[in-house]
């Protein structure tokens, strides 16, 4: 297992968002996390990614305990081992497409020439080669999400966390974006955990779990009993 959550609980004031949630994710797996609005999906994702600390329970990443790690170590791990794609608002609109994708490399002290060469390679793979010089504020929603995927993958993360990555897109564009995301993740061996409301997005996953009232359930577990 690359990621494991054990009895995770997290409340906001008196509102419980997670109630002893358990989840185990295998390396290389594409996992869809579904469930009604307010069921705890975002909170779960944020805890797994080390962005939120749970009130109780454990989060493990690659055999290391994430939730009790020092902030400095956890932040470093998040920058190097995890990639993130959200619904929107993650690109710097004043910068070009190429700048946005090169940014994580430049922040990681990769030399300029090398960073832009690697960014260009990713843009090519995402069908964005012609848009490198464009400001991201001028892109369509689908183009912007493809840039966000390139930026999330450019450092070669072990796990890609995606929270409603197609939520702002029409369904055809959303399916195309998911197809690209999943295709690249498989080529790279990246584990993907994607929160989505959309069954058509979940259809790209290897496995699907449902969050209900702060607990994770496997929709196919019942069928094994019957």
Residues near ligand ADP (CB under 6 A): 12, 15, 17, 35, 37-43, 164
CB of 226 to ligand ADP, least distance (A): 28
| Minimum CB distance to ligand ADP smaller for 52 or for 61 | 52
| Minimum CB distance to ligand ADP smaller for 31 or for 115 | 31
| Minimum CB distance to ligand ADP smaller for 66 or for 162 | 162
| Minimum CB distance to ligand ADP smaller for 112 or for 212 | 212
CB of 90 to ligand ADP, least distance (A): 14
CB of 40 to ligand ADP, least distance (A): 4
CB of 122 to ligand ADP, least distance (A): 26
φ, ψ for residue 99 (rounded to 5)?
-60, -45
Could you tell me if 136 and 144 are in contact, meaning their C-beta atoms sit under 8 angstroms apart?
A: yes
CB of 189 to ligand ADP, least distance (A): 27
| Minimum CB distance to ligand ADP smaller for 126 or for 211 | 211
């Amino acid at each position: 297992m690359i990621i494991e959550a054990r009895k995770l609980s997290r409340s906001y004031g008196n509102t419980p968002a997670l109630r002893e949630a358990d989840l185990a994710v295998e390396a290389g797996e594409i996992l869809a996390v579904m469930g009604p609005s307010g069921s705890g999906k975002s909170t779960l994702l944020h805890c797994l990614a080390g962005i939120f600390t749970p009130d109780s329970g454990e989060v493990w990443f690659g055999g290391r305990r994430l939730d009790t790690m020092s902030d400095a170590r956890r932040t470093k791990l998040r920058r190097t081992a995890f990639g993130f794609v959200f619904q929107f608002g993650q690109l710097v609109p004043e910068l070009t497409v190429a700048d946005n994708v090169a940014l994580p490399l430049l922040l990681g002290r990769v030399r300029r020439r090398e960073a832009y060469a690697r960014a260009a390679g990713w843009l090519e793979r995402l069908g964005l080669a012609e848009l490198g010089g464009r400001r991201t504020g001028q892109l369509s929603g689908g183009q912007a999400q493809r840039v966000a995927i390139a930026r999330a993958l450019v450092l070669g993360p072990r796990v890609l966390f995606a929270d409603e990555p197609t939520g702002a897109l029409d369904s055809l564009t959303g399916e195309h974006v998911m197809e690209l995301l999943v295709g690249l993740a498989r080529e790279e061996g990246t584990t993907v955990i994607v929160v989505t409301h959309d069954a058509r997005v979940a259809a790209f996953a290897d496995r699907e779990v449902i969050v209900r009232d702060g607990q994770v359930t496997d929709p196919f577990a019942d069928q094994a009993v019957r």
